[in-house]
Amino acid sequence: MVSASILRGKPAFRLQDAPTWVLIAGSAALGLPTMATLAGGAWTQESGAHGPIVLATSAWLLWREREVIRTDARPGNLILALPLLVLSLAVYVFGRAFDFDTLEAGGLYGAGLSAAYAAIGGRLMARLWFPFFYLAFAVPPPRLWMDIVTAPLKQFVSVASSGALHGMGLPVAREGVIIFVAQYQLLVEDACSGMNSLIGLSAISLLYVYLRRRSSVAYTALMVALVLPVAVAANVVRIMALILLTYFFGDGVAQGFLHVTTGMFLFAVALSLVFALDAGLARLLLPREEAG
């Protein structure tokens, strides 16, 4: 008997398609609650605002490779995939049960990698390494790790910004991460340390380098390493600008609308500087066809 779907010219559902639909349904069941959690928490903060952008662009990058995935996919070894999947799901459940966003999102990320390996194999994942690596930026970093890394950065940007302005003759002094200017005192918070800018800048810079150059892992790692001094320098300038605004216009002006505006403006400047560094380094380090 000829099925109605064939009579209408549409392919009938095949049994081998079932794992794909199970994978999609399972991903939605796990991913949508986590996305809702992050949308109400980590993604609303400066350190995680890039998360939705990373998630959307990662999906787009994989969608661009759909023909390669369709033709070259080879199922991975389930003996390797299943233990990682079970471990990732355990981390996911623990993180969700105890409100650890990093563990919840990290467990979901690990489960996604396990499922991808089982579906398309390690060789194809290695060829398409960038979208899978880039997706990790959507996982919010652990708070404890952020505190450990941020502390010395806050000290550095405090010393650099107050020292530069004091050398220019302004009445600026510093005690730890507290900066005194005239009758005002400013606390250098985590957002001004450069760490938040570093994560967002790294993600966007990586995407730019991948789309612009399709270059090697070594060149990509070099660009990521250059993002750190750019992000820190941008935040030193940001703090100097806030000190000057406080000194000349008062604390209300510096801590109001201009506080956010300076951060956005200097992020754009830092990103432009990363693009300029890439243009210069590409001419020196990459073949002509990639550097063009």
> Which residues form the catalytic set?
192, 238
Cα dihedral sign, 200-205-206-210? positive
- Tell me the β-bridge partners of 66: none
Q: CB-based contacts of 114: which residues, under 8 Å, 6+ apart?
A: 81, 82, 84, 85, 88
- Residue 194 DSSP code: S
Instruction: List the one residue out of 86, 87, 104, 107 whose CA is nearest residue 95.
Output: 104
CA distance 31 to 24: 10
Closest CA to 198 of 274, 115, 98: 274
**Dist. CA 203–CA 201, nearest whole Å:** 5
Alpha-carbon span 264 to 291, nearest angstrom: 29
Please tell me the distance from the alpha carbon of residue 119 to that of residue 81, in angstroms, as a whole number.
10
